[in-house]
Homo-oligomer: A and B are copies of this chain.
Amino acid sequence: MPLPVETYTIKDIARELGISTSTVSRALRGSYEINPETKRLVMECAERLNYRPNPIALSLKGSASRAIGVILPQIANYFFSQAINGIEAIAYNRGYHVIIFQSQESYEREVANVQQSMSRKVDGLLMSLSSETSDVAHLQEVLDKNVPLVLFDRVSADLNVTKVVADNFGGAFAATEHLIQSGRRRIAHLTIQPWLSITQERLAGYRAALEKHGLEFDESLIRYGTFGPDEVGPMVDELMRHSAPPDAFFTASDRLAVGCLQALRQRNLHIPEDVSLIGFTNLNVADFLAPPLSTVVQPATEIGQVAAERLIDQIERKHRALPIETVKIPTELIVRSSTMTSSEVVKL
């Protein structure tokens, strides 16, 4: 039985039943003072016609659009696409639509995205900031309009909103400590843009681990870069030419880890004999990377789920005062080595 796509309006039902549109509307909304019999008739007719309220009209009217906007840097990134998956799952079974906007790491586009999502009357906004974004005035305006906003992953300290992030500090700390406990002493850290919250938290975790074990923090072992794979090779080469080269790498993303791996391989260096490598990653195929790559796994799906839950909670009971807090989702450290037959998983 092919499901019909034909679209009927409240008017069609009204005409069919010889009653007014307002009565139909009331019957459909369930509530109010309405004759049970009329209601039954309307429901039955709606069912038969496969009536679906027009979301556009609803939005125009100003009431809930039952759509949430998701603005993020880019979809073609395993972390974000997994996060969207989590968001969509929650949204779907709570009856919301997801409209996705990509800022492409551009501040200007992000602002445009915010405008567009506002004019499309989303009921709430879920955001991960572009790497260019430092000024968050555009988001303050969202809040001023009383549109619920939840930030995830790439957040800003300048906004007093609910934030959902991975435990970046904890993950970085565990990774670094593991390297130290494996006997490494000069751990390079390849990371992304320095002004991002996640970058800072990870760097802090890295430093804290060094400090705990009495190792000196050496700024010259840190490299900030973009995601481009072409940038990683030279970075690694430069580090290895250092008078006291690193004996381990800790990278802030899967792309950096893969780039690093490639660069090391080209120099015929072996992992983990010559250097160790741990990446902050979302790549679930990391298991198969050669040579063995240990990873701090980001809870992408869960971040998306929790963020969506928080947002929808806010949307649905705007009146009550909801606690604004930063939710930290734990990471997992997965340690692999050539001698292990299967992965040894250490949960943080």
Contacts and interface: CB of A to CB of B under 8 A. Distances in A.
Given A100-B100, A258-B288, A262-B287, A55 B120 contact: yes
Number of copies: 2
Contact of A76 (B55, B74, B84, B288): B84
B52 A56 contact: no
A292 to B, nearest CB: 9
Contact of A291 (B75, B135, B290): B290
Interface string A274-289: 0000000001010111
Contact of A57 (B60, B88, B99, B116): B60
A142 interface: yes
A226 to B, nearest CB: 17
Contacts of A6: 141
Contacts of A75: 75, 81, 84-85, 88
A335 to B, nearest CB: 17
A81 B82 CA distance: 10
A218 to B, nearest CB: 28
A111 B3 contact: yes
A5 B56 contact: no
Nearest to A114: B5
Interface centre among A82, A84, A261 (most CB of B within 10 A): A84
B2 A119 contact: no
Nearest to A50: B115
A279 to B, nearest CB: 11
Given A74-B85, A75-B85, A291-B290, A7 B119 contact: yes
A290 B76 CA distance: 24
A16 B284 CA distance: 57
Interface centre among A7, A85, A99, A288 (most CB of B within 10 A): A288
A96 to B, nearest CB: 11
Interface of A: 2-7, 52, 54-57, 59-60, 74-78, 81-82, 84-85, 88, 97-100, 102, 108, 111, 114-116, 118-121, 135, 137-138, 141-142, 254, 258, 261-262, 283, 285, 287-291, 301
Given A2-B137, A3-B138, A52-B119, 13 more contacts: A7-B118, A52-B116, A74-B85, A75-B84, A76-B81, A77-B81, A78-B81, A97-B116, A258-B285, A285-B285, A285-B289, A288-B290, A290-B291
7 contacts: A2-B135, A7-B119, A52-B119, A56-B121, A97-B116, A283-B285, A288-B290
